[in-house]
Every structure is written in structure tokens, then in C-alpha cells.
Amino acid sequence: MSIPIPGQQVRGSKSGKPIMALLDLLGRTWALGVIWNLSQGPATFRELQQRCEQISPSLLNTRIKELKQLSIIEVVDEGYTLSQQGVDLFTIISPLSSWSKDWAANIETAKPQLEN
């Protein structure tokens, strides 16, 4: 699977629109997880692997390579960290945490109805 690049055909879209490339990237296994975990601060490969609930080394390596090539993460003395683009992206997606907590509470309240 190739890296989703704006302006090129990506999984699920032939248009090349930047939003479709972003959605392709973020829909990949552990892409959001890596971004989310690096929002906590820089991490070495092993630290990031632990933060990501023991993601396989090969999958983590693949995600790091993709995210580095797309300027979302970068290498610093402490390991990997979000680039400015990555910080900007995290700022946009971080409100999903609050929304998801409300959503989970609503589902819990509606659970008896959902089970019928």
C-alpha cells in the first residue's frame, strides 16, 4: 500500500483531494494512535511501542516511516515527536476525546434499547 499523498489517487478516492489523502492516512491501523501517543511528548521507538499497547515493531516502523515522510512526525534527540504539522493536526482531532466520552455515556444510557 502506498503512502497517501494529496493530489494523487488514494484508497477510496480517485480525486486526489487533500482531505481524502488525510482520511486514508488516519484510517490506517495505528496511525491515529501513534499521533495521539506522541501528543504526550517525545518517545523512543520502544517507549512509543509501549504507549501503543505493544503494537508490533513492523507495524510501528511502517507508521513511523509514513508519518515522517508526510511531515507529521520528526526525529529529535529524545526520539520521535510531532512536527508542527502534527501538532496542528492533533489540535484538530483532540476534541474527539471529549466527544467520545459523551458518546460512550449516551450509549451506556441507551444500552437496554440497543440490546433489543
Query: Which of 68, 84, 3 lies closest to 34 in space, CA to CA?
Result: 68
- 111: its cell numbers: 444500552
The pLDDT score that the predictor gives to residue 1 is: 62
pTM: 0.86
Neighbours of 112 (CB within 10 A): 7
C-alpha cell at 9: 489517487
C-beta separation of 68 from 34 below 8 A: no
At 69, list the grid cell.
515522510
The CATH code belonging to domain 18-107 is: 1.10.10.10
Nearest to 48 by CA among 81, 72, 74: 81
Q: Rounded to whole angstroms, how far apart are CA atoms 96 and 16?
A: 26
Q: Is the pLDDT of residue 108 over 90?
A: no
**pLDDT tens digit sequence for 64-84:** 999 999 999 999 999 999 999
